[in-house]
């Protein structure tokens, strides 16, 4: 099974960074992160409030049935966003939901929400290929 835990996508949500005279006080992307957090909560996940990660954007800590997933959402400009996900679960046996199931649910939720489009998944920053799905059978 091929897993692509990172994605790039476009959004119509307004750019929401807070700036002073010289730099960002709060980097953009909080609103995107809040929407994604709400999506995951509606799927039954326990989701932290958005965590400001400075120039990296915003993070979410997501939990379900002993599993822990981490997300970082970076707003690149007016429309473009980057998403990084990681399975943070320490496990001895297989727990549900699996990371693959989590990514598939996240992808479906993003695609069903009209504020997100052009969602393309990839393995890491070195991967130049893009896939419409985060998980693919070999």
| Single pTM value for the model | 0.91
pLDDT above 70 for 56? yes
Beta strand pairing status for 116-122 and 6-11?
antiparallel
| Contact of 121 with 134, CB cutoff 8 Å | yes
Pairing of strands 116-122, 67-75: unpaired
Q: Does 124 have pLDDT greater than 90? A: yes
Q: What is the pLDDT of residue 24?
A: 75
Q: Could you report the per-residue pLDDT of 65-79, keeping only the tens digit for each?
A: 889 999 999 999 999
* pLDDT above 70 for 53: yes
Which structural domains are found in the chain, ordered by start? Answer: 2-136 (3.30.310)
CA distance 10 to 63: 26
Q: Tens digit of pLDDT for each residue in 91-116?
A: 666 666 789 999 999 999 999 999 99
Q: What are phi and psi of 84, to 5 degrees?
A: -120, 135
Element (H, E) at 82: strand 80-87
């Amino acid at each position: 099974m091929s897993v692509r835990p990172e994605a790039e996508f476009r959004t119509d949500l307004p750019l929401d960074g807070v700036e002073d005279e010289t730099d960002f006080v709060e980097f953009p992307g909080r609103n995107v992160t809040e929407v994604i957090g709400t999506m995951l909560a509606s799927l039954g996940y326990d989701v932290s409030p958005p965590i400001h990660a400075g120039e990296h954007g915003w993070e979410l800590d997501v939990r379900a049935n002993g599993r822990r997933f981490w997300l970082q959402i970076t707003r690149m400009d007016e429309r473009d966003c980057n998403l990084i996900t990681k399975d943070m679960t320490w496990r001895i046996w297989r727990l549900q939901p699996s990371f693959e199931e989590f990514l598939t649910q996240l992808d479906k939720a993003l695609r069903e929400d009209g504020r997100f489009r052009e969602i393309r998944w990839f393995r890491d920053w070195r991967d130049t290929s893009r896939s419409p799905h985060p998980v693919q059978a070999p």
